[in-house]
Amino acid sequence: MPSSALFSAAIEQAINRLLSLDSDSKARLSRLNGMRLYLFIDPLPNAICLVFSTQVDVLTEYDDHSDVVAKLDDKSCCIQTRVSTLPSLKDTNQLTRLIQQGELTVDGALSVAQQVSGLFQHLDIDIEEIIATNTTDVFAHSLVSAAKTLSEKARTGSEMVSRVLGNALVEEKQLAAHRLAVMHFSDNVNALRDDTARLEARLNHLESTRSKS
């Protein structure tokens, strides 16, 4: 299977798994039935297309941006943006600002993009409760607390990557990162690795304690 197809399949599985954890998402998903959202995300080599029905199908789109825009109908929308802009798309109030600032290009039915954004923005998932159904309340609380700490570290590292990549393009499209930026990024990676190791050790300890009780 081509890497692009594997990538689309992984996204599809993740999206549908995420939606399944919130029972209220079915109603929001039903309002998107028959709609399509095309995503051109720099620097991904191919676009992806989200097709909405009782679930979300993720397809690899091989046509270029102009060809996709030419075939849009009143139930489809095409977005062109960068990876660093994706987190802002979850807030529908940010769409107009991003378009005005040139961070986002939207063709076709804007309402489709707004509804897709709302589908994920309003997700209400109680991770702690899900974990607790298969373990114990104490174990679930400890795991979620540790995961939140790790997530914050990961977010900091991701923001650093975005800043480095965003300022890395120079003349003749050669990449060059400032030495201090690289050092800072390296520090964030090391901190994230250490936190991951501590989380793994804590989970092993909690699991061992639970097994003995």
Q: Say whether both 80 and 139 belong to one domain.
A: no
At 140 the pLDDT is 47
Whose CA is closest to 115, among 57, 52, 31, 39? 31
How many percent of the chain have pLDDT more than 90?
26
Q: Say whether both 131 and 47 belong to one domain.
A: no
Of the residues 121, 152, 182, which one is the last residue of a structural domain? 121
At 117 the pLDDT is 83
Q: Say whether both 135 and 204 belong to one domain.
A: yes
The label of the residue with tokens 């790790």 reads 150
Of the residues 76, 106, 121, which one is the last residue of a structural domain? 121
Q: Say whether both 18 and 97 belong to one domain.
A: yes
Q: Say whether both 94 and 26 belong to one domain.
A: yes
pLDDT tens for residues 98-107? 888 888 899 9
Q: Say whether both 56 and 113 belong to one domain.
A: yes
Number of domains in the chain: 2
Q: Quick one: DSSP state of residue 53?
A: S
Does pLDDT of 142 surpass 70? no
Give the domain range for residue 37.
3-121
Q: Say whether both 96 and 183 belong to one domain.
A: no
Q: Say whether both 75 and 8 belong to one domain.
A: yes
Sheet-wide strand order for 105-108: 56-61, 47-52, 36-42, 76-82, 105-108
Of the residues 101, 121, 141, which one is the last residue of a structural domain? 121
Q: Say whether both 132 and 81 belong to one domain.
A: no
At 207 the pLDDT is 63
Q: Is the dihedral of CA 69, 70, 71, 74 positive or negative?
A: positive
Q: What is the CATH number of the domain that holds 54?
A: 3.30.1050.10
Q: Say whether both 145 and 200 belong to one domain.
A: yes
Q: Say whether both 150 and 98 belong to one domain.
A: no
At 169 the pLDDT is 43
> What does the block give as tokens for 6?
């594997």
Angstrom distance (rounded) from CA 171 to CA 58: 36
CA distances from 51 to 9, 32, 37, 151, 175 (A): 13, 9, 7, 29, 36
Does pLDDT of 36 surpass 90? yes
Q: Say whether both 154 and 91 belong to one domain.
A: no
Question: Global pTM?
Answer: 0.58
Angstrom distance (rounded) from CA 113 to CA 125: 22
At 6 the pLDDT is 83
